[in-house]
Each structure stands twice: as structure tokens, then as C-alpha cells.
Structure 1
């Protein structure tokens, strides 16, 4: 389970809106800036609408133990992001302060006990309001309860959650939409493929469940990353 993380003086919660699935992409902040599409949504409320096509982005970890734990969970998704054009790589260990953003271009992974004060919930966000909306990295706080035996959670959910939070830090938000037109955007109410696979960014617990594909991005998620790159190019960011 997961929600969006906001960093100011300390971690706080930010709820973001979504657009109906299948609706025409919405353009904001000038011509060529698209913030929503089928199965993906950008963190535009926090001012993040793009990723630099040339800036390196590096995933770092608060401890060596976290690096060893999470690297296998993230490897496939990082490779997919690279194939989509994001210069993303898995890095090493550095100090993480959840109250502020780290170095430019760093996506920092740490663990916290109940980041949202709710059992089983992790939290991730991009550094808010970067210049020209071009993401500068962010923080993902994974609930430590997953690993201390105090909270039961399926392995596939943990793996998808770690990737989900990393993508929050890059600038993707939940793509949940009011598919049944009842006036409420509900949990897991997301567009799906013909095989029933929902975006890994769907809240909560989207993504593949099979051993072969768990932790991988769906085509919806890849399209979101491509939109972040396209938005930056539209603003002349190289």
C-alpha cells in the first residue's frame, strides 16, 4: 500500500487528483506539457512535469543492507526506465535525511516505521517544484514492518511497492480514475490491460503478480516516464 510523500521541513501527505481513463491527455503549463494519460499520471501538483533527457538519475540507499535488499527488486524496472530513455542507474550508499531532498539527481531509498502512521503503508515523492518542472530526484520511505515480522504482506506486493515508490520519486503519481462513474475514485480503480494487469502505480498494490514479471513496469508506467521526458524536451530541456 502506498501514498504520495511530500518533503518540506518534514514529511507530509499530499493527495493528488486524476483524470478519467481514456480521456484526452490534459495539457498544462504551456503548449506541449501533458500531465495525464491512459494509465499514467504525473506529480504536477508538486510542480513535477518532466525528467531531464540528459541528466543522470541515481538510486541510492541509506545503508548497505538496504542496498542488498532492494537492488534485486529494482533491477528490472531500472532497465525498463533506461530503455524508455531515462538515464537511471542503481548506485551506492549515502546518508538519507527524510526531512529534505538529497543531492540533485538522487532517488534515495530508506526505511521508516510506518511513514504514514498507518500499518503497511510506504511513501514516496519527488523533490517538489523544481525549476521548469524538471525532476531532480526524491525520496522513497519503505515501511520497515514488511521485514520485522510485525506485518504480513505478500512478497509480490513488497516488490511492486518498492518500484512504485521509486517511480513516485521520479515524478509519477497514482493513475486511479472513476471508471464506474459513481463519483468516487476508489482503491484499485485503474485501467488494466486485456490480461487484467494494472499499472504498478495503481493505488494500492498495482503491477504484475507473477514470479516472472513482478516488479516490472507495465506499458502504462513506461508511457508515463516517456511523457516526463517529452515534457522536458517540449520546454527545450536537453
Structure 2
């Protein structure tokens, strides 16, 4: 499971506003944290707080990293570096650590971009996975794999695309657009994505459309 909230000490006032495309069918950008675009030329690097975490998560992230690159955003798996959950690390780093219930709820993890970057250009951020996943917390394998990918996508600039589809005035859990096969975006809250062994942990077309929008917004501002 996953959630986007301001429990890290990273959030300031909004500094960016522009007439950019920030939402579409099955995707939404993290405009509430001031991120509306991603660099078309810089490489974002996923790093890990410990070697144990690097070995644990690298195999789970690999297929999605390939999809992110295929969508046009440059992303690679890196090594180990210190992670301070209270502040952003080096620019263009997606830092990964584990905390016990980072959102105060069992099974919920968190990913946050560094807030309010200049021109809305995402520069990385921090992921804190719930350490309970590896100590007996009852989570289905497909939900774990999808959550592992869901959180770094928050850091890159994607938000939950939940929508009031039934028009009851509320954004409910799992209330997201779905394919004809019933697959919701991996960014759906609290957990979306594919459910089969062959496809779990992979982005849907909705999610890759969101990544392409981040890049298109950058180019629209002259960011290369």
C-alpha cells in the first residue's frame, strides 16, 4: 500500500505556477508539491541507504526502470549513499530507505519528491518503504511488487489518479479508471497495477502517459 503525504520535513510554500497539462485519463502530476515536469536530459539515479536494501529492491525495480526509460525519462539503478528522511539528498537522486510505518499506518509506505523545485522541474526525492513488509506483514506478492514501483514514481512526479467516477462527491480508495481487463494504474491509491506473476510491478499505459506528460511540460517551458 502507498500514500503521498507530507510527513518528511520537505514541504514549503508553492513557488511554481504555469498553464501546463497536469492530469489526464489515469494519471495525475504532483502539482500540490510543485512538481509539474521532469528533465528530458538529466539522468535520475535510484540509490539505497544500505547494501541490504540495494540487493533487496534492485531486482524488483528493474523491469519498471526499463519502462521509464522507454517512455523517454532517463532513470538508472545506482549504489549506496546516506539517506536522511528529513531532507532531500543530491539533485536527481531517488533515495530509498526503510522505516517502520513511515505514515503511522501498518502496511503504508511513502514516496515524496523534493517540493517546489524551480520551474516545477522534479529533482528527485525520498522513498521510505514500510519495513514491516519483510517481517511478516500480510501483503500479497503483487501488492508488494506494485508498491515498490509506486513510491519511486511519486518521487519522479506522479500522483494518485483516483477520480470520483461514481459521482458521489468523494475520492474513494481504488476508485480509478481501469482497462478492459480491470487493471488500474499502478499509481492508483492505495494500490493499483497488474496482479499476475508476469506483469506485477510493471507500469500500465496510464502511468507511462503520465511520465510523458512530465517530459512534455519540461519541453513546453524550454527545458531540454
RMSD of aligned alpha carbons: 1.4
Aligned to 2:69: 82
**1 CA distance for matches of 2:194 and 2:130?**
20
CA deviation profile, 1:55-111 (whole Å, cap 9, x unmatched)? 110000111111111011110110000001101000001110000001000001100
Query: How far apart are 1:47 and its partner, in Å?
Result: 0.4
1:184/1:171 CA distance change after superposition, 3 Å: same
Correspondence 1:49 to 2:40 = no
**2 CA distance for matches of 1:6 and 1:162?**
19
Aligned to 1:174: 160
**2 CA distance for matches of 1:2 and 1:55?**
27
Equivalent position to 1:155, from 109, 119, 141: 141
**1 CA distance for matches of 2:208 and 2:172?**
23
TM-score by length of 1: 0.90
CA deviation profile, 1:107-128 (whole Å, cap 9, x unmatched)? 0110000001111110111000
**2 CA distance for matches of 1:145 and 1:87?**
31
**1 CA distance for matches of 2:212 and 2:25?**
13
Gaps of 5+ in 2: none
Aligned to 2:4: 4
3-state SS of paired residue (2:6): strand
Runs of 4+ in 1 over 6 A off after TM superposition: none
Correspondence 1:202 to 2:188 = yes
Query: How far apart are 1:11 and its partner, in Å?
Result: 6.6
Gaps of 5+ in 1: 13-27
Aligned to 1:30: 18
Contact 1:7–1:127 (CA under 8 A) maintained in structure 2: no
**1 CA distance for matches of 2:195 and 2:5?**
25
Contact 2:36–2:214 (CA under 8 A) maintained in structure 1: yes
**2 CA distance for matches of 1:35 and 1:117?**
29
**1 CA distance for matches of 2:10 and 2:218?**
27
Contact 1:6–1:128 (CA under 8 A) maintained in structure 2: no
Matches within 5 A, 1:62-77: 62-77=49-64
Query: How far apart are 1:205 and its partner, in Å?
Result: 1.6
**2 CA distance for matches of 1:56 and 1:172?**
17
Q: How many residues align?
A: 220
3-state SS of paired residue (2:62): helix
Correspondence 1:193 to 2:198 = no
Aligned to 1:237: 223
